[in-house]
């Protein structure tokens, strides 16, 4: 976006209830509080939804305060590049950045994917996530996701129970691609035992096994399964340090601060020979839509956030035969 037309900024706070509680290592979620930003030039408008990053204290009050702190600059007119310098990475910048992308699409009559220099989007094979629970409950959940072709299992760091979880889900869905997300639950000394069990269960990805700050412990660790960085890769500045420790970077727009930086991370990861994954912090289809654009560049896609909501926004992302399709009517389309 190059023109600096004055804008109006509308900020709404919403709580999106989950259909049922969702458990990961150290946390149980019952709803997803979000901020919804709408930027308007009086003729066209653009929207962005953000959940923030709970483990960084990037919650709704923090996002709201950050957005209000730059309201004057935003309403005076701002480009995406200027926004990058105005706010740090996080949910506030994500919501504003995505709103600017959609606003430009509507002003220019060019959809976001084309503005980003990408080919026309295609449906994406997505993982369906199973929250950490008793092994039998997770196995039943895996069977419930009948259309899933890929599953992601949340672990808690309880080694014996986590191994039982993996084994139960594999027995329930022998045909599925399976990855596991440890959410920082393990220490380096646990990995040999965990990885051996994952290999035996034909697990294809191990996401964030160690705590953020312990990345050096993975230097030289020989793992037969690709290791993905999530909490260890918040922004573009973290990506170069992943080489030799991780194999894949998980891009989440709430972490990195929007589609602009998400696309830059994907490009840099490719330059470094890293695999690329796109994930989400749980949100509505409006939050998934910009990530769907990033997903066009990714090897692994985890965009199942709306399936956990009691009620999604309309129109909604479609899940068919294990694939996610996010049409322009949801976000980012040209008008007219």
Residue-by-residue pLDDT tens, the chain, 336 positions = 444 789 999 999 999 999 988 777 667 788 899 999 999 999 999 999 999 999 999 999 999 999 999 999 999 999 999 999 999 999 999 999 999 999 999 999 999 999 999 999 999 999 999 999 999 999 999 999 999 999 999 999 999 999 999 999 999 999 999 999 999 999 999 999 999 999 999 999 999 999 999 999 999 999 999 999 999 999 999 999 999 999 999 999 999 999 999 999 999 999 999 999 999 998 999 999 999 999 999 999 999 999 999 999 999 999 999 999 999 999 998 665
Task: Give the pairing of strands 128-130 and 205-207.
Answer: unpaired
The CA R_g of the chain, rounded to the nearest whole Å, is 19
pLDDT, position 286: 98
**DSSP result, 193-261:** HHHHHHHHTT--EEE--B-TT-GGGGTT---SS-EEESTT--SHHHHGGGBTTBSEEEE-HHHHTSHHH
**Residue matched to tokens 């035992």:** 193
pLDDT, position 2: 47
Spatial neighbors of 61 by CB under 8 A, at least 6 apart, are none
- Tell me which long-range contacts 1-6 makes (C-beta under 8 A, separation of at least 24): 1/79, 1/80, 1/100, 1/103, 1/104, 1/107, 2/79, 3/77, 4/76, 4/77, 4/78, 4/79, 5/41, 5/77, 6/41, 6/75, 6/76, 6/77
Output the pTM of the full model: 0.95
Task: Identify which of 264, 267, 293, 269 has the alpha carbon closest to the alpha carbon of residue 280.
Answer: 293
pLDDT, position 260: 98
pLDDT, position 335: 64
Per the CB < 8 A criterion, the answer to whether 216 and 188 are in contact is no
Residues paired with 76 in a beta bridge:
none
Taking the C-alpha atoms of residue 129 and residue 179, their distance in angstroms, rounded to an integer, is 9
Helix or strand run (H / E) with residue 39:
strand 27-40
In this structure, what token pair is assigned to residue 308?
């956990």
Torsion angle (degrees, nearest 10) of CA 319, 321, 323, 327: -50
Taking the C-alpha atoms of residue 76 and residue 269, their distance in angstroms, rounded to an integer, is 34
**Residue matched to tokens 């997903």:** 295
């Amino acid at each position: 976006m190059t023109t600096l037309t004055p804008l109006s900024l509308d900020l709404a706070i919403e709580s999106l209830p989950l259909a049922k509680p969702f458990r990961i290592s150290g946390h149980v979620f019952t709803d997803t509080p979000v901020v919804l930003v709408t930027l308007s030039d009086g003729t066209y408008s653009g929207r962005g939804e953000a959940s923030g990053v709970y483990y960084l204290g990037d919650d709704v009050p923090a996002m709201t305060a950050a957005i209000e702190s730059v309201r004057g600059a935003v309403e005076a007119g701002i480009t995406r590049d200027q926004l990058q310098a105005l706010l740090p990475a996080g949910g506030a910048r994500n919501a504003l950045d995505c709103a600017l992308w959609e606003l430009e699409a509507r002003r220019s009559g060019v959809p976001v994917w084309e503005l980003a220099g990408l080919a026309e989007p295609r449906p994406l094979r997505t993982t369906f996530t199973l929250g950490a629970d008793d092994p039998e409950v997770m196995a039943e959940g895996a069977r419930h996701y009948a259309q899933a072709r890929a599953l992601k299992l949340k672990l808690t760091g309880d080694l014996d129970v986590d191994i039982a979880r993996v084994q139960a889900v594999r027995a329930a869905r022998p045909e599925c691609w399976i990855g596991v997300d440890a959410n920082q639950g393990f220490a380096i000394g646990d990995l040999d035992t965990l990885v051996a069990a994952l290999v035996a269960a034909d697990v294809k990805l191990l996401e964030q096994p160690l705590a953020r700050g312990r990345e050096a412990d993975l230097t030289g660790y020989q793992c037969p399964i690709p290791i993905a960085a999530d909490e260890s890769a918040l922004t573009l500045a973290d990506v170069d340090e992943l080489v030799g420790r991780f194999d894949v970077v998980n891009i989440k727009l709430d972490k990195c601060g929007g589609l602009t930086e998400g696309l830059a991370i994907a490009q840099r990861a490719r330059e470094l020979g890293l695999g690329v994954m796109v994930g989400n912090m749980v949100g509505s289809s409006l939050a998934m839509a910009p990530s769907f654009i990033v997903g066009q560049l990714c090897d692994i896609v985890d965009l199942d956030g709306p399936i956990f909501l009691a009620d999604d926004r309309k129109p909604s992302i479609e899940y068919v035969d294990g694939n996610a399709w996010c049409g322009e009517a949801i976000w980012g389309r040209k008008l007219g």
